[in-house]
Amino acid sequence: MDQLHSLSLTAALALLDKGEVSAVDLTRAVLARIDAVEDRIGAYITLSREHALTQAQEADRGRHAGTAGPLCGLPISIKDVLCTRGLRTTCGSRILESFVPPYDATVVARLRAAGAVLVGKTNMDEFAMGSSNESSAFGPARNPWQTSHICGGSSGGSAAAVAAGECLASIGTDTGGSIRQPASHCGVVGLKPTYGRVSRYGLVAFASSLDQAGPLTKTVEDAALLLGVIAGHDPKDSTSVDRPVPDYRAALTDGLKGLTLGIPKEYFAQGLDPEVEAAVRHGIEVLREAGADTVDISLPHTEYGVAAYYLIAPAEASSNLARFDGVRYGLRDKEAGTLYDMYRRSRSRGFGSEVKRRIIIGTYALSSGYYDAYYRKASQVRALIGEDFRKAFARCDALVSPVSPIPAWKLGEKAADPLSMYLTDVLTIPNNLAGLPGISVPCGFSGAGLPIGLQVQAAHFEEEKLLRIAANLERRLGIVGRRPELANP
């Protein structure tokens, strides 16, 4: 038997059902794994050891009494941007260093109701702004495959924790690729649901029209299981969509006959790392062997996605982050004599440089005289990008491509040049601008041993199709059990 910390959710559930392990066993194994590797990974900002063990004991009692929910007793981590009642929620920022939410995000409430054991809150780029985890005020999480390299971002702590066995699965959020990109870099599965599929209530807002929570897991089936628990309408989020939640695990065993996969040529353009291209092209061949047809597709406005996104997302952020003013929660500079100085000093001390940069870009893009040239223009280009996808899905069922144009890079390598980091988001951003579902599934490794993910995107609310395609790839590639060795340094 595998070590308990390396089990998938579904494998652990099977053992729990047979009575071969208890939730307490699983939780202890995960906590022991954290003790063994966390000083090298830095996947967590806050751990909840004692409460996790209490939850595990309750889960074991529930299972005994026959009242087990679908995640009963499974140790899971949560990105530190989702509010957890009674458990510190920092968003990776000094400004919320001591914030203890008085309520649960709906996603968290659903996980608790399903019996999940919450191990802790995972590391992230500050306010989910970043692609490398380096903007976390608590220091970056590192890539478990090579700890000298970035784990990706912004849900980097979640991806690293899953890859390193520091939880069985995690929940992250994706505004411009923040679930899919770290999943790709850490060799795990990351699913970004359709905008509106999962409630954003209690998700500390970065860019409200783009943010969406979703699972990071060891297997595609686990992603299907978790999505089924967290998806659904929530009266507390008026942008959550009221439509039935299917059984996402039902279609995983189907083959791909009758499906047409679009290969968007702009996603294989100049700048794509040859090893990434080779791994993804191999993945596409494997999907053809599973019965899929392929067709060449053009998404002509892809190259404008980064420019549009880095105006729209900061614009929304500059408004959302106005709430951090030192009044109701968060850090306050107590020396300031006037309200105005208190706002400025509290915010300047509390926010890191990437957050300040985006607040200033966003404020500039929305300011008088520049609104039409920047924010309005970007929102028009957003329409064009959405139209590209609508036309594409008239010709194919899903789009297959790389996730990140390059494998994980070395920590610090892009830290001095924000634009060079923004440009690495080119293949994940259009998806968010159009509100589509997308998944990253492992498809290979670089010569240096760093994971490479394959991205599948589909039309709104077609998560079942994504999962079915990803499951076929996973079954045929047979790399799902490959985990980082994490040899002693």
Partner 1 sequence: MKITAEEVEYVAGLARLELTPDEVAAMTGQLDRILTYAAKLNELDTTGIEPVTHALAIRNAFRPDAVQDSLPREEALANAPEQNGEAFVVPRVL
Residues 97-136 within binding reach of partner 1 (CB under 8 A): 98-100, 102-103
Whether residue 67 contacts residue 160, with contact meaning beta carbons closer than 8 Å, is answered with no
Of the candidates 318, 440, 457, 472, which one interacts with partner 1 according to CB under 8 A?
318
Nearer to partner 1, 292 or 433 (CB): 433
Nearer to partner 1, 56 or 306 (CB): 306
Range 66-85, binding partner 1 (CB under 8 A): none
Q: Using CB under 8 A, which of the segments 147-155, 245-253, 261-269, 371-379 binds partner 1?
A: 371-379
Nearer to partner 1, 99 or 267 (CB): 99
Nearer to partner 1, 206 or 343 (CB): 343
Tell me the two tokens of residue 25: 């066993």
CB atoms inside a 10 Å sphere around CB 40? 14
| CB 168, min distance to partner 1, A | 31
Of the candidates 1, 65, 394, 419, which one interacts with partner 1 according to CB under 8 A?
419
**Angle 239-184-97 (CA atoms, 0-180°, nearest 5)?**
60
| CB 212, min distance to partner 1, A | 10
The Cα–Cα gap between 382 and 396 comes to: 21
| CB 226, min distance to partner 1, A | 22
| CB 238, min distance to partner 1, A | 4
Task: Report if residue 298 touches partner 1, rule: CB under 8 A.
Answer: no
Q: Using CB under 8 A, which of the segments 57-65, 70-78, 369-377, 466-474 binds partner 1?
A: 369-377
| CB 361, min distance to partner 1, A | 6
Range 336-355, binding partner 1 (CB under 8 A): 336-345, 347-348, 351, 353
Backbone angles phi, psi at 213, to 5 degrees: -90, 150
How many residues bind to partner 1 according to rule CB under 8 A? 75
Tell me the three state secondary structure of residue 303: helix
Tell me the two tokens of residue 353: 């440089």
| CB 359, min distance to partner 1, A | 5
Task: Report if residue 330 touches partner 1, rule: CB under 8 A.
Answer: yes
Q: Using CB under 8 A, which of the segments 64-72, 181-189, 261-269, 379-387 binds partner 1?
A: 379-387
Of the candidates 113, 360, 391, 448, which one interacts with partner 1 according to CB under 8 A?
360
Single-letter code of the amino acid located at 288: R
Nearer to partner 1, 89 or 122 (CB): 89
Of the candidates 328, 394, 485, 487, which one interacts with partner 1 according to CB under 8 A?
328
Task: Please give the C-alpha separations between residue 485 and each of 159, 276, 488, 489, in angstroms, as whole numbers.
Answer: 16, 22, 9, 11
Task: Report if residue 367 touches partner 1, rule: CB under 8 A.
Answer: yes
Nearer to partner 1, 26 or 434 (CB): 434
Label residue 245 exposed, middle or buried (CB < 10 Å: 0-12, 13-18, 19+): middle
Range 23-42, binding partner 1 (CB under 8 A): none
CB within 8 Å of 146: residues ≥ 6 apart: 408, 448, 449, 450
**Residues tagged active-site:** 79, 154, 178
Task: Report if residue 379 touches partner 1, rule: CB under 8 A.
Answer: yes
**Residue window 398-417: x/- pattern of binding to partner 1, with contact defined by CB under 8 A:** -------------------x
Tell me the Cα Rg of the chain.
Answer: 21
**Residue window 442-481: x/- pattern of binding to partner 1, with contact defined by CB under 8 A:** ------------------x---------------------
**Residue window 142-181: x/- pattern of binding to partner 1, with contact defined by CB under 8 A:** ----------------------------------------
Of the candidates 334, 394, 485, 488, which one interacts with partner 1 according to CB under 8 A?
334
How many residues would you count in the chain?
489
DSSP track, 445-481: E-TTS-EEEEEEEESTT-HHHHHHHHHHHHHHH--TT
Range 189-248, binding partner 1 (CB under 8 A): 194-196, 209-210, 235, 238-239, 241
The Cα–Cα gap between 9 and 382 comes to: 37
Tell me the two tokens of residue 279: 């791994």
CB within 8 Å of 282: residues ≥ 6 apart: 443, 444
Q: Computed from CA positions of residues 119, 151, 155, 388, in that sequence, does the dihedral angle turn out positive or negative?
A: negative
Task: Please give the C-alpha separations between residue 394 and each of 138, 242, 432, in angstroms, as whole numbers.
Answer: 45, 25, 19
The Cα–Cα gap between 33 and 455 comes to: 30
The Cα–Cα gap between 169 and 215 comes to: 7
CA neighbours within 13 Å on the CB side: how many for 452? Answer: 25
Nearer to partner 1, 267 or 310 (CB): 310
